[in-house]
Amino acid sequence: MSTSEATPLIVARAERNPTREFWRRLLRNRAALISLLTLVLLILLAAVGPSLYAISPIKPDYAAINSLFTGKHPLGTDNLGRDTLARLLYGLRVSLIVAFYVETLNVSLGVTLGLVAGYFGGIPDVIITRIADMLFAFPGLLLAILIAAVFGTPVTERFGGIGRLLLVAGAISLVSWPLMARLVRSQTLVLKEQEFVLAARSLGASDWQILAHHVLPNLIGQVIVAVTLDIGGVVVSESVLSLLGLGIQPPDPSIGKMITDSIPYLEANAWQVIVPSLALMLIVMSASFLGDGLRDAFDPGTQH
C-alpha cells in the first residue's frame, strides 16, 4: 500500500521592514507628502535661486519704483525699486539658514542635556531641570528680543552680517532648547527602564554605550518630529525680530524685513506685503503638516 505524504504548505511571512513601513505610511498621507515636496522646493529655491536669478536684491531700479509685474521684475519692485523676487529668494535663504542654525543648537543642547538628565538623574537632572525651568519662566519671544536688542549692535559692528545672523539664531535657540530637553528627558526616563536596556546593562554595557546604542536610536523619530514642528515657529520668531528691527539688518533682506518695509505702502502696492506673507505662511503650514505626518508615520497609534 502506498501512502502519499502531504507536503505542508509553508507560508513565509515577510518580516516587516520598519523603514519601509515608515515611508509607506508617510507617502499615504497626502498633506504630509505635499508639504515635504513644498519644503524641498523652498530649500532648493533658497539654495540656488539667488545665483540663478541674476538681479541684485539690494540694487534699486529707480525707473520701476513700486511697479507691479513686468518682464524685468516678475513680482514687481518695492518702494525703493528693489526687485521683489530677488529679495524674496534671498530672504528665504536667510530664514532657512536661521532655522538650520537654531535647530542644530536645539538638537545639540536639548538632546545631550535631556539624555544626561533623564538617564543619570540626581544632581545633573536637578541642575538641568532648574535651568530649563528658569528659561521657561520668561516669555520666550520677549527674552529673544531682549538678547537681540542688547547684543545686536556690538555683534554687528564686530562680526558683520554673519555675526548678526548667528546672534538671531542663538537668541531664538536659547529660549527653545529647553522644550527639546524636556521631551528627550521624559522619553529617556521611560526607555531606561525597558527590558532591552536592562539586558544591555546586565551584559556589562557602560552607561554611555547604552545611551548611544539603545536609548538615542529610539529617540530619533521623536526628535525629527519635534524639529520639523519647530521650524515654523523659528521662522516666525526670526520674522518678528526683523519686524522690530532687531533681526537681519539692511540692506540684507529677510522675509520679516520685507513685510516691515512694505507695510507703509500697503494701499499703494499691497502685493509687496502679500508676497512675503504668503511665503511665510507657506513655510509655517508646510512644516506643521509635515511634522504631523512624520509623527503619524513613526507612531501609527497617534493617528486621529
pLDDT tens for 142-195 read 888 898 888 888 888 888 878 888 999 999 999 899 999 999 999 999 999 899
pLDDT tens for 188-233 read 999 998 999 899 888 888 999 999 999 999 999 899 999 999 998 8
pLDDT score recorded for residue 9: 42
pLDDT score recorded for residue 163: 87
User: Do residues 238 and 95 lie in contact, with contact meaning Cβ atoms separated by under 8 Å?
Assistant: yes
Give me 199's grid cell.
Answer: 539586558
| pLDDT band of 247, cuts 50, 70, 90 | confident
pTM of the model: 0.85
Distance of CA 243 to the CA centre of its chain: 20
Identify the CATH number of the domain defined by range 21-49+87-302: 1.10.3720.10
pLDDT score recorded for residue 157: 82
Residues near 266 by beta carbon (within 8 Å), at least 6 away in sequence: 273
Is pLDDT of 258 > 80? yes
